[in-house]
Structure 1
Amino acid sequence: MTTLDSCCRVCSRLFFSCRLKNPSDGMKNRTCCWFTVVSVGALLSLFAMYSCLIVYNDRDNVNWMIFSMVRKHINFFMVAMIIFAVFASYCVLLLLFALVQVALREKLHLHWLHVIFICLGVIIISAWIVVMAYHERLIVTLSLQYMAPFLQFGAVGALTLLSWFVFRAYQEAKKESKFLIAAVFLVVSAFIFLCPLLISSPCLMEIKDLKKDLPRPKLYGHRGAPMLAPENTMMSFERGANECNLAAFETDVQVSKDGIPFLMHDHKGHFLKRTTNVEEEYTCSKNLSFDKLKTLNAGKWFEEVDPFRTVHLLTGDQKKEAENQHIPSLKELLNLTKKYNIPVMFDLYGSTDCDNTNDTVRTVETIKESNVNSTLIYWLHKNESEHVKTITSDFIQVYNDKKICEKKPGCRLNLEYSHLTMDEIRELRKDDVNVNLYVVNERWLFSLLWCANVSSVTTNACQDLNRMEQPDWTMAPSAYRLAWILADALSILLMIGLFFCQRSCHRRSDVNVLHRIPLLRINSN
């Protein structure tokens, strides 16, 4: 036994089982059990980490939901990501040490502390997966459409590396167990090698088709540019117009006690607590006059909380400007709309505790009084659209029902990004439907929707998406097929070589054992 071999054995045994010596004979039959436990923990933790990275697009929604429950600014999503990253690293390290021990023909014994940590982690991750399956399963499906070609290549590489251990287990197994090992390995291998037949990604296209038929989706600023300035403030909309090349402003409107529409998203209990310095408890916009609302600071929270970890990008002057932002009226935004000729689309919000009877009428009156071009107003269908049509027919109607737009070519559709499949987007675009999806912040999701030919997206990250000149990746179908076939063929050739290598090693081992038997008998005599 070499010094390196001995060190590897001792280090892996110390980390895995906290023992310097081999486990007792009574523990040796647990190797398969412990290896399975560690493998399951590693696979689940890697999936949890992958899902966190995918759902990162919706992190603001998660943090807002936590705030609505605990009334404190906590970056809960980042905390969850750190926990899952630590657990994933821990489980993968355990698995690597287990593989080292198996390669060195060591018997495994998992220390009871490792068992407890893995069990707790599996319980937490299982709960996370249940939540994900209920709330975020569609974004995971979309991510697979985007990442599937690369995940398949990674799976082929992992299968090739692990085949060494499978082949050794096959050679050392009893005759009845060999059939089971071979059957399972062949089924898994066939699935991994052939799964590209099931992969359908809109980014598998010719580059010339992208440049010819798929212009970059337009950007709608979600509450302005909330990564560059406090959301729903004039600074946010100004920076969005000047730095993000926005095609439209998206905002939220409520009506004050004295009938003045103003910009504010939160509309349920304690609706001012998240983004202002209000001290009293208010549950309804009708409890305050606009003069009172104007006295509230709507910018300091942005620098204190740093919701998107982007405050460091602001200059000293920009930080001072952000700190002094107030709650703007709808009229202020309409003046900005006229200045930049950028349309505005808004949700008309009102708490259930409020009397919102005249909110629509008052909002329409404010728009008319501002003398803004009516074609710059995108009126969402859910905001009493039919009633608005009786007042004015000039506003651009935007619908949130796919079935309506299927019957009205040329209409505008505004939906959450997870409510349409890539094929549905393409079919709607063929019917000349303008499709806007919200809220899209990550490059991979924007790239996927770009390949699907979406018209526009509502985003918090306008400054990042505005810099993209093309999707992060596209690949010609013929090139992907060639890469797939070559990767599979190379993997199969390597695994054949590994199989015969293991077979040769096993036979030499059997011969050495047979040669030792007479010597053992002589010594015993």
Structure 2
Amino acid sequence: MITMFRSCLKGVYSCRWSNRNDTKQKMPCCWFSFLSFVSILVLSWMYICVIAFNDHSNVNNEAFKALKTWVNWYRIVVILSAVLVTYCLLLLIFGFLHLAIREPLHLHWLHKVFLFLGLLMVFLNILGFSCKWQKEWQTIKLSFQATAPFLQLSAVLALTVISWLVFQSYFRAKTAANRGFIMTNFLLVCAAVHLWPVVIKSPCISPNIPPKPALVGHRGAPMLAPENTLMSFRKSLECGVVAFETDVQLSKDRQPFLMHDHGENFLLRTTDVKDKFPNRASEIHNNFTVQELRTLNAGKWFLKTDPFWSVSSLSEEEKKEAENQTVPALSELLDLAKKHNVSLIFDLKNEMKDENDFTNSDSYYTTEEIKASGISPDKVWWLPPEYRHNVSMMEPGFKQVYSNLEEMEANSGNFININYTSLSDDHISELRSINVSMNLWVVNERWLFSLLWCSGATSVTTNACHIFKNMSKPDWHLEPNAYMGIWISIDIVSLLVMLGLFFWQRRRLTGDWTAGIY
């Protein structure tokens, strides 16, 4: 059995299935170090992929703009990364087992090729990430407030497990210099890992939990229905949203309608414009009348592309309803918001400011449409900045919402709509203390929603309202004293286990409890 186990280990790691000894391979420990480095790197990249998943639709949408064809690139990257992580970690485990049973570390050349390819893949991904999606590094940085306690716990566990190999190497070292080098580096790493919580700062380590943030449906509920359709907004009502978030454009006949994409090819991603108007697919918004827009199907793309991997959760009736959605007019959404007493916040996608022509602007026609609907003015969260003063004079009852702190402070406002990476937890607490409402966008993952909940955000714009509606508390929250108790207890247990492993290795390898003390 032992012989078979050794043969399997060598077969997987070095493709040597026989028991023959081969010492021709050079620098086996260097290759094992390279394997360890690549494993840590791909594991870090997988962490980045998981955290950045909150904004993965941005990657796919940007790719669509460039290629004019929908491919779920983020899914492909995640799958390839997961395969690479699994491969590297399994290979690393086999390497550690080789060390444990003192088998030669003869890494096969094919593994070396795959490791170099994996390293190249991660390098290119990180390069593209940094060049094309640089702002997402702020999300990665923010994520450590949610994950650092768990990463530290994992690091303590991993360090405790591999300490027996470190001690084994220490007692097998032939010189005092080598033993000193091994133990000094291990103690430095050990101190860093065990004392890591000293620098961990998280809003979820606090005495109290603020009220749960209200939910704003981003283009409705786009995980459950095609974005910016009436079905999507009706689905968001089931989540108890306090506001609809949408995007407004003006048609050729100056009628406001709902559509996020703008400019050339603005209908290509979410409608069947190529089928209905094959020669006009690349035209801009003001070349289409409302009647032409209403002939387009705005739901089949959702079932075909499955942008959030959620179509399988829909019933057959829901799929049929989604399949028959059209491009809505703003008036239809206003009627829905008025009926259910829900607020409305929107972007004007094509607004171009002309100081002398407010009455011909998108803001003017949109405000006229809102007033004609009869919705209560305080249910409109006015966000577009271009004609804010004119709109305020035309309808002073709108809630003025600002997209940056400077503009809000300059206008003595008290409502800000901003990306979740733009405010620190301290800043959120400070704004909350002076009664400033903060709507943060776009929040789709539980860890991020929990973190912003602990920070004290007023509301969040989300694609995942159906996930957040049932959360009665953040995914984790600890009082500072409780966290300190857990941290110290785990560190003590880890140190005691490592101390036991040290003496066990000493006894096993030297036969003397006191050997290696001096």
Q: Identify the TM-score tier after normalising by the shorter chain.
A: over 0.9
1:12-51 deviation line (CA, Å, top 9, x unaligned): 1111111134553332x52311210111121111111121
Give the drift of 1:341.
1.1
180-189 or 404-413: bigger deviation:
404-413
Equivalent residue for 2:158? 158
- Corresponding residue for 1:380? 383
Report the CA distance between 1:407 and its aligned residue: 6.6
Give the alignment partner of residue 480 of structure 2, picking from 477, 480, 485: 477
Structure 1 residue 254 corresponds to structure 2 residue 249: yes
Tell me, what secondary structure is at the counterpart of 1:115? helix
User: Which range moves more in the overlay, 61-70 or 129-138?
Assistant: 129-138
Letter in 2 for 1:108: L
Deviations 1:328-355 (A, max 9, x none): 1111111111111111000000289xx9
The verdict on how the C-alpha distance between 1:405 and 1:259 changes in structure 2, with shifts beyond 3 A counting, is closer
Does the aligned pair in 2 maintain the 1:219–1:457 contact within 8 Å? yes
Opposite residue 340 of structure 2, the aligned amino acid is Y
Which residue of structure 2 aligns with residue 35 of structure 1? 32
* Alignment deviations for residues 56-114 of structure 1 (CA, whole Å, 9 cap, x no partner): 11111111111111122211111111101100000001001101111011111111111
Per-residue displacement from partner, 1:270-316 (whole Å, max 9, x unpaired)?
11011000013233101111111111000111111121222233222
Per-residue deviation, 1:7: 2.0
Which residue of the partner structure matches residue 268 of structure 1?
263
Contact 2:416 2:439 in 1 (8 A): yes
Match of 1:9 in 2: 6
SS at structure 2 position matched to 1:415: strand
From 62, 67, 73, give the equivalent of 1:65: 62
2:115 to 97, 118, 126: 118
Q: Check conservation: 1:13, 1:19, Cα contact below 8 A.
A: yes
- Structure 2 match to 1:494: 497
- What amino acid does structure 2 have at the position aligned with 1:504? R
**1:131 CA displacement:** 4.0
Aligned equivalents of 2:415, 2:441: Cα separation in 1:
14
Quote how far apart the aligned CAs of 1:269 are: 2.4
SS where residue 252 of structure 1 aligns?
strand
Q: What pairs with 1:136-285 in structure 2 (closer than 5 Å)?
A: 136-173=136-173, 174-206=175-207, 209-210=208-209, 214-241=210-237, 243-279=238-274, 280-285=280-285
2:377–2:395 CA contact under 8 A, matched in 1: no
Q: How does 1:39-54 map to 2 (within 5 A)?
A: 39-54=36-51
Q: How many corresponding residue pairs?
A: 497
- TM-score of the superposed pair, with normalisation by structure 2: 0.92
**SS across alignment from 1:262:** strand
Q: Which residue of 2 aligns with 1:521?
A: none
What is the CA-CA distance between 1:126 and the residue it aligns to?
A: 2.0
User: Which whole-Å CA distance do the structure 1 matches of 2:220 and 2:128 have between them?
Assistant: 30
Measured in 1, the distance between the counterparts of 2:348 and 2:191 equals: 54
The letter of the residue matching 1:215 is P
Q: Is the 1:342–1:376 contact (alpha carbons within 8 Å) kept by the matching residues of 2?
A: yes
Q: Is the 8 A contact 2:263 2:285 kept in 1?
A: no
Task: Give the secondary-structure state (helix, strand or coil) at the position aligned to 1:98.
Answer: helix
Q: Give 1:416's match in structure 2, choosing from 403, 414, 419.
A: 419
Question: What is the root-mean-square deviation of aligned Cα atoms in Å?
Answer: 1.9
Secondary structure at the counterpart of residue 473 of structure 2: coil
> Partner residue of 1:301?
301
Which of 75, 83, 91 matches 1:86? 83
Per-residue CA shift, 1:106-156, capped at 9, x if unaligned? 111111111111111111112323444523211112211111111111110
Work out whether residues 267 and 351 of structure 1, in 8 Å CA contact, stay in contact via their aligned partners in 2: no
Unaligned runs of 5+ in 1: 510-525
Provide the rounded CA distance (Å) in 1 between the counterparts of 2:14 and 2:393.
76
Structure 1, residues 363-399: CA drift from partner, whole Å, max 9, x if none?
A: 1121122222111111114343233224332211100
What's the secondary structure of 2:192's corresponding residue?
A: helix
Q: Does 1:360 align with 2:363?
A: yes
1: CA distance, partners of 2:400 / 2:486:
47
Superposed, which structure 2 residues align to 1:418-497 within 5 Å? Answer: 418-497=421-500
Alpha-carbon contact 2:415-2:437 (below 8 Å) kept? yes
Return the alpha-carbon distance in structure 2 between the equivalents of residues 30 and 23 of structure 1. 16
Per the TM alignment, residue 442 of structure 1 is displaced from its structure 2 partner at its CA by: 0.9
One-letter amino acid of the structure 1 residue matched with residue 244 of structure 2 = F
* Identical aligned residues as a percent: 44
Q: What is the CA–CA distance in structure 2 between the aligned matches of 1:271 and 1:407, rounded to whole Å?
A: 34
Shift in Å, 1:423: 1.3
After superposition, what is the alpha-carbon deviation per residue over 1:254-280, rounded to whole angstroms, capped at 9, x for unaligned?
A: 001110010000013211011000013
Q: TM-score, normalised by structure 1?
A: 0.91
Q: Which moved more, 1:71-80 or 1:81-90?
A: 71-80
Q: Secondary structure at the match of 1:481?
A: helix
Query: SS where residue 25 of structure 1 aligns?
Result: coil
